[in-house]
Amino acid sequence: MEEEMDLRQYWEVLRKHWVIIVVLPLIAALTSGIISFFIIKPVYQASTTLIVGKKALESGQEAIQMLENNVLQANLQLAKTYAAIAQSRTVEQNVINSLNLPMSIGGLDSLISINPVKTTEILEIQVTNINPELAAAIANAMAEEFSKAVIDIKKVDSVSIVDTAVTPVSPVKPNKKLNVLLAFVVGLMAAVGLAFLLEFLDNTIKTSSDVEELLGIPVLGVIPNYQTGKQG
């Protein structure tokens, strides 16, 4: 019975402050939507993938196959080295020069992410930018300049581009729908918390149980309020 009364009290608190509980989440969602759709610039991502290694030997002999496996393992170990070369100052400066980019090496470096693909000898170059065409151009230029650098530095036979970067159509961020949903949920949680906080700070006497708790004596009776239909 006590638990039932507690639930009723919670419901009364929520019903009493229903305006806050309705309006605050809507304001939060509307604000997030305006920011996501009209203020935050969309960011696009373009990527290219490469394989670094020696040219495959066309032969069915077991010894040559073992040699190829050893080369693959060596290439996997060198993945981090290749990533460092791809994001080196020399490579990035060559990309800036080739595309006439109005940015510093640090600015370009912040747009680039080098990701060795696990269990493979594939290297992925990702570029993010608010300009989708520029993102694709930088990714392809990075692949070209990296190929020259790694062949010169590591003396490998070849660098093969698996996929060239294409102009992205959809932005990777912001996730507008997710932002609005999260803002609504956070606003709802804040509204419920605010409602209970206001109720906690309200020291006025509302029920007969409040009188009993305040005075420490039992209530003998209540006088009906005929105007409101409630007990006073």
CATH topology of domain 44-163: Alpha-Beta Plaits (3.30.70)
* pLDDT confidence of residue 1: 42
How far apart are alpha carbons 73 and 3 in whole angstroms? 65
Q: Where exactly are the structural domains of the chain?
A: 1-40+187-200, 44-163
Task: Say whether pTM exceeds 0.85.
Answer: no
Low-confidence ranges of the chain (pLDDT < 50): 1-5, 55-67, 229-232
SS3 40: coil
Task: Report yes or no: 107 and 95 within 8 Å, Cβ to Cβ.
Answer: no
Give residue 13's pLDDT.
Answer: 85
Quick one: which of 94, 107, 78 has its CA closest to 143?
94
Q: How many angstroms separate the CA atoms of 150 and 152, rounded?
A: 5
164-201 pLDDT, tens digit per residue, is 999 999 999 999 999 999 999 999 999 999 998 988 88
Instruction: Report residue 123 as tokens.
Output: 């290297």
Q: Tell me which residue has tokens 């069915």.
A: 60
Amino acid, res. 58: E
pLDDT of residue 58: 46
Count of residues for the chain?
Answer: 232
- Half-sphere exposure in the Cβ direction for 55 (13 Å, CA): 6
Give the CA distances from residue 141 to residues 71, 127, 166, 216, 220, in Å, rounded to whole numbers and listed in that order: 27, 11, 12, 82, 87
Give pLDDT, residue 5.
Answer: 47
Cis peptide before 174 (omega within 30 of 0): yes
